[in-house]
Amino acid sequence: MKISELTVRYGRFTAVDSLSLEVPAGSVVGLVGESGSGKSTVARAVAGLTPCRGTVTGIDRARIQMVFQDPYSSLNPRMTVGASIAEGLGPQVRRAERTAGVARLLDLVALPAAAADKYPRELSGGQRQRVAVARALAAQPELLIADEITSAMDVSVQGAVLNLIRDLRTELGLSMLFISHNLAVVRYVADIVAVMRSGRLVEAGPVDEVIGSPQHDYTRALLDAVPRLAHS
Ligand SMILES: Nc1ncnc2c1ncn2[C@@H]1O[C@H](COP(=O)(O)OP(=O)(O)O)[C@@H](O)[C@H]1O
Ligand SMILES: [Mg+2]
């Protein structure tokens, strides 16, 4: 997926300014920047949910799935976990296959099969986010956009969800745009990191290069601002 010269304006305010960024197939690109820098606007524009200028190529937008900070926004509180995930599988999947498909997806996100009969409110925040990821994966996306998916979580739970993202990348070869204001979180899951500030791309490159020798003061400031996660 390739973003070229993406510009998004809200009235006279330019939220994203001529941003170009590639997500190579099978890689996780981490988009990082402080709150208000335009990350979610990029996500919405890439998904075709916001009018924009510029182009997004190499992706069928119907095959993009998004997961957000609040899993309640993607899960219906009145539906069981199993029903939510089954809905993600699509109407073409027959009943018998649905049950098996739900079980496989729950297993993929390291939840017990019994979770299928639970309601979102019966789960912890971390478990709910796993369900939201499972539901997104059910649609077999070409690109998963994860927007601040661990930002509301305790550090301990965050680690488990981030490990899940790493495992999924390895197992499924998933292409992902992983958005966070926290550079430590991004560094843990991403192959490539792109740093955004005030709607513009400040720098982008392989995660070790950008973290190891940041080219911009802004990136250095982001690095200094965050508590480090244990890096295994
Ligand atoms: N629908 C909107 N209308 C007007 N301004 C918006 C809208 N959505 C976001 N903005 C503004 O655009 C900027 C970028 O927002 P956003 O993309 O949400 O940033 P981030 O996700 O990095 O926190 C912010 O200044 C925000 O206030
Ligand atoms: Mg945001």
Q: Are 50 and 149 in the same domain?
A: yes
> Per-residue pLDDT for 52 more than 70?
yes
Same structural domain, 124 and 158: no
**pLDDT at residue 71 is higher than 60:** yes
Whether residue 146 sits in one domain with residue 112 = no
148 alpha carbon, closest ligand: 2
What is the average pLDDT across 58-66?
95
Q: How confident is the model at residue 82 (pLDDT cuts 50, 70, 90)?
A: very high
Q: How far apart are CA 33 and CA 128, in angstroms?
A: 25
Q: Is residue 221 part of a domain?
A: yes
Residue nearest to atom 8 of ligand 1 (CA): 41
Together in a domain, 149 and 134: no
Per-residue exposure over 51-90, b if at least 16 CB sit within 10 Å of its own CB, e if not? ebeeebeebeeeebbbbbbebeebbeeeebbbbbbbebbe
User: Do 158 and 128 share a structural domain?
Assistant: no
Residue 211 has pLDDT above 90, yes or no: yes
- Decide if 229 is inside a domain: yes
Closest CA to 199 of 53, 61, 68: 53
> Token pair of 64, please?
């993009």
User: For the residues 199-219, what does the mean pLDDT come to?
Assistant: 96
Ligand 1 nearest atom to the CA of residue 44, by list position: 17
Over residues 81-105, mean pLDDT? 93
Instruction: Give the separation between CA 34 and CA 117, rounded to whole angstroms.
Output: 38
Phi, psi values for residue 208, rounded to 5°: -65, -35
As a whole number, mean pLDDT of residues 42-56 equals 97
Q: Whose CA is nearest to atom 27 of ligand 1?
A: 36
Q: Per the structure block, which two tokens stand in for 66?
A: 């998004």
- Over its C-alpha atoms, the chain yields an Rg (Å, rounded) of 18
Can you name the residues that pair with 53 across neighbouring β-strands? 7
Residue 35, ligand 1, Cβ within 6 A: yes
Instruction: Using a pLDDT cut of 70, give the percent of the chain over it.
Output: 97
Same-domain check for residues 148 and 212:
yes
Provide the whole-model pTM: 0.95
Domain holding 204, by residue range, is 1-59+142-232
Render pLDDT for 118-138 as a digit per residue (tens, 0 to 9): 999 999 999 999 999 999 999
23 and 93 housed in the same domain: no
User: How many beta carbons lie within 10 A of that of residue 104, not counting itself?
Assistant: 15
Tally of domains within the chain: 2
Same domain, 135 and 188: no
Question: For residue 70, is it within any domain?
Answer: no
Q: Which of 102, 118, 139 is the last residue of a domain?
A: 139
pLDDT at 232: 38
- Residue 69 lies inside a defined structural domain of this protein: no
> What is the overall mean pLDDT for the chain?
93
Domain boundary among the residues 123, 139, 155 is at 139
